[in-house]
Structure 1
């Protein structure tokens, strides 16, 4: 507000800026001076909102720079930044006018040397170990001979071929391959999904559930193998109900999945060797056990036979054993006649006494009562026999109704087997008939190749007028080499001879006149 006595304001030389103009000018200066730069520092205050962008700080012992990575840039990062990690960030400097601050837009980020990776790895290892994921007590035993083996690896690398080749050599098994990326940002999620997918298969379903899982990858640097150190992969391996063998990298490479798996293999080939035994060794061991069993049985029979022979020699003779019983039998036979007569007399006396006390009416009453009882029991027996016959007839009819479909199925299966065998026999006969033609064609090819060999051979070339010139055992290909040699050996088609070159200096070859006829020319 100006008063009448106040002097008017003096116009200055400094231009006037609006706040937006000044903020834009600062933004252009910073972005123009700092293009693509690399900044080394320690990560602090990491924030991951629902938008997918990543906000964090880069700091050293004195200053702090705000940093941002957009959602697409975060997805392409090989590692996920964590608080306390020392990294080298690559990006562009810019400003945020809304808060009057400058910040770094990070495109890529790598650990600041192996020390930072190892520090982060040890920190994550200690955290997961404190949760019991590496406890040896929770590790499951590997099955001795799994029926189905699931392999989590890249389908295009040499690892799967090495595993399949070693399984084929040792003991062929049914193998299910779950293709995954074994390097890059997709690796952790795909490997964890593959382990959970194998565990989600139902036993006895259309896709057989593996009895063993092998997670394999070839060797590489720590950054290449970093996907197998991610927490999602370690937790999936620890939660697997199927025994799991980790075969990541070479023998000197160690990742966190090795601690969470039930067993670690130094190489993918060694994982295949751990998974199955050698079939030839099993057969040899079985044959050895059968041989030992046969030898043991023969030895046992020999010992028992010898023992029986020894015991038989200790027994008395048969006549001596039967002499006393025979004598007792003779004495009893002599007493038997009189004893039978005496017993018959006693029985007659008892029968006469009992018969005198029974009257005919009592016998008839007893006989009638016994007859009624017998009739009742006979009727009961007839009912039981009828019921048993009915049940047996029903079972027989049931079996007969099942027999006809079974015979039909057996006949159909036998007919299919016969038709399949006839088709195989016809195919074999066709291949056998085509064999002479194939043999004749191969014979013609062999004869043509032999004629070509004879035409282009060493002897045929010499017979057409060519010669081989050697000096000191080496073939001479120029006039200078021939002039320097002490002696020359010339080989023709019918023999060879030695020549001494002329001492005169070699002259330049005279150009052939058009009328001259082409010829061999002088060798010297």
Structure 2
């Protein structure tokens, strides 16, 4: 063969031999894999990739495996357990993230991958998408159903507050409770932002719920989960699944007071009541003591008045009912007057109806005269004679149906299964004439038949003994084609290929 570096006899050698002028020794697969690994790691020691997470799974060892993809490419990724534990969110399929790390290769599969040191959401849009995805998933479990909401106690004696002990939130709540109705407050100090905040908030809610009634520490009648305002990243701990599930599972009524009026977290959906601010949560938790005292005093005065005046009020109601009872003459007088009015209207109506009928009869005499009827008949005959039959009423639909039939015929011819044979394609069939559409089906057959435009050709799959030529019915357009005989040099020691070309 022209241009080939070695002769056909050298290529056919069974044992590898050194060749003159060849100083490249064979290397092992492990050695070439190691060289590739070092080259990739040296060239791409630190990269930042933006893409969509796919196939996210966490192994029992704690390592995180996934793929990063865009509309044109995909790359495998791995995050070791230490880095995976520091993630600020739970990675899920479909999230757009920015992964930082280094590229390396995995010799066991001959693949390159990125070892991720950190994974961040790609902007606030991705963070909101994760929030909406988590909200939909938890809502599907029924954690936000209204049927799970518990009524708040009217006057809680002990109130548990889950918040930071050093912020302004706890001072605002305590100050508001003191103004409205002083209560016993238990504060469970937690982090409200950053790493570990979600776990601490969830543990605090479950801790309040685990306090037994009548113990050394009083069990709260109401729990307030509070935090000041901030960005969506600052409030993200209250969107974590652990916090949402802890609030939803709490048997004590919970008020969520996270952020300002416009801030909304998943904790608000799971709580029994949402407060726009921590101060508003204190207002919702307890009533105003002065207002309660005034209301009780008013109820007492009303009770006293009701006890002293039952007989007087009953007498007044009886006298009013007697005065309102009508007399018999007053009841029948309007009905009698109405009867007289209807009788007079009936007589007048009969007279008017008879007069209108008489006038209508006079008018019908003119319309039903012999001359008028003859004139109307003549006009109808003229209209009938002018309405002739037009052939276009039949020809136009017939032509339309003819065009549709011709289009259907052309479509049928273009979709005929043997039409591609005219463009150089072939149909692979089994010995019994069944069409084979996959390589696996063809490999199971002992003999194959290739149907071309001008005839059939017998073939044997590679590695199978040659079978006798099967007889397969051909199409009406197929014509047998004679093949030139092969020489002994061409056939000796070689097996026919799939297309019978030797």
With normalisation by structure 1, the TM-score equals 0.54
Match of 2:400 in 1: none
Distance 1:163 1:37 in 2: 48
Distance 1:137 1:47 in 2: 34
- Runs of 4+, deviation exceeding 6 Å: 301-304
Shift of 1:97: 2.4
Indicate which of 21, 26, 30 corresponds to 2:40.
30
Match of 2:199 in 1: 189
Q: Secondary structure at the match of 2:230?
A: coil
Closer/same/farther in 2, CA of residues 7 and 116 from structure 1, 3 Å limit: closer
Shift of 1:24: 2.7
State whether structure 2 residue 286 is matched by structure 1 residue 276.
Answer: yes
State whether structure 2 residue 235 is matched by structure 1 residue 243.
Answer: no
Q: Secondary structure at the match of 1:76?
A: coil
Distance 2:165 2:307 in 1: 55
5+ residue gaps, structure 1: 308-524
Distance 1:139 1:301 in 2: 43
Indicate which of 43, 50, 74 corresponds to 2:84.
74
Q: Which moved more, 1:13-22 or 1:201-210?
A: 13-22
- Residue by residue over 1:223-248, the C-alpha shift from the partner in whole angstroms, topping out at 9 and shown as x without a partner, is 22222222222222111111110111
Shift of 1:7: 9.4
Shift of 1:291: 5.2
Closer/same/farther in 2, CA of residues 298 and 98 from structure 1, 3 Å limit: closer
Closer/same/farther in 2, CA of residues 207 and 298 from structure 1, 3 Å limit: closer
Distance 2:224 2:115 in 1: 41
Match of 1:231 in 2: 241
State whether structure 2 residue 190 is matched by structure 1 residue 180.
Answer: yes
Shift of 1:13: 4.9
Match of 1:318 in 2: none
Shift of 1:183: 2.1
After TM superposition, the structure 1 = structure 2 runs for residues 204-353 of structure 1, keeping only pairs within 5 Å, are 204-290=214-300, 296=305, 300=309
Shift of 1:73: 0.7
Q: Which moved more, 1:268-277 or 1:11-20?
A: 11-20
Closer/same/farther in 2, CA of residues 38 and 201 from structure 1, 3 Å limit: same
Q: Which moved more, 1:240-249 or 1:125-134?
A: 125-134
Closer/same/farther in 2, CA of residues 301 and 264 from structure 1, 3 Å limit: closer
Is contact 1:216-1:246 (8 Å) kept?
yes
Match of 2:170 in 1: 160
Distance 2:70 2:51 in 1: 6
Distance 1:69 1:182 in 2: 27
Q: Secondary structure at the match of 2:292?
A: helix
Q: Which moved more, 1:284-293 or 1:225-234?
A: 284-293
Distance 2:90 2:239 in 1: 12
Structure number with the higher helix fraction is 1
Shift of 1:163: 1.2
Shift of 1:182: 1.7
Is contact 1:75-1:185 (8 Å) kept?
no
Indicate which of 30, 33, 40 corresponds to 2:50.
40
State whether structure 2 residue 69 is matched by structure 1 residue 59.
Answer: yes
Indicate which of 138, 149, 153 corresponds to 1:139.
149
Match of 2:29 in 1: 19
Q: Secondary structure at the match of 2:55?
A: strand
Q: Secondary structure at the match of 2:85?
A: helix
Closer/same/farther in 2, CA of residues 279 and 28 from structure 1, 3 Å limit: same
Q: Secondary structure at the match of 1:232?
A: helix
Shift of 1:9: 1.8
Closer/same/farther in 2, CA of residues 15 and 269 from structure 1, 3 Å limit: farther
State whether structure 2 residue 114 is matched by structure 1 residue 104.
Answer: yes
Shift of 1:157: 1.9
Match of 2:428 in 1: none
Shift of 1:138: 2.0
Closer/same/farther in 2, CA of residues 301 and 47 from structure 1, 3 Å limit: closer
Shift of 1:251: 1.1
Distance 1:264 1:76 in 2: 30
Distance 1:270 1:136 in 2: 21
Shift of 1:108: 1.4
Closer/same/farther in 2, CA of residues 198 and 9 from structure 1, 3 Å limit: same
Shift of 1:20: 3.6
- Residue by residue over 1:237-287, the C-alpha shift from the partner in whole angstroms, topping out at 9 and shown as x without a partner, is 111111110111111111111111110001111111111112222233334
Distance 2:140 2:106 in 1: 42
Is contact 1:90-1:109 (8 Å) kept?
yes
Distance 1:106 1:8 in 2: 45
Q: Secondary structure at the match of 1:167?
A: helix
Closer/same/farther in 2, CA of residues 7 and 126 from structure 1, 3 Å limit: closer
Q: What's the Cα RMSD here?
A: 2.9
Match of 1:129 in 2: 139
Closer/same/farther in 2, CA of residues 293 and 102 from structure 1, 3 Å limit: same
Q: Which moved more, 1:21-30 or 1:149-158?
A: 21-30
Is contact 1:198-1:210 (8 Å) kept?
yes
Match of 1:360 in 2: none
- Residue by residue over 1:307-336, the C-alpha shift from the partner in whole angstroms, topping out at 9 and shown as x without a partner, is 9xxxxxxxxxxxxxxxxxxxxxxxxxxxxx
- Residue by residue over 1:352-403, the C-alpha shift from the partner in whole angstroms, topping out at 9 and shown as x without a partner, is xxxxxxxxxxxxxxxxxxxxxxxxxxxxxxxxxxxxxxxxxxxxxxxxxxxx
Shift of 1:290: 4.6
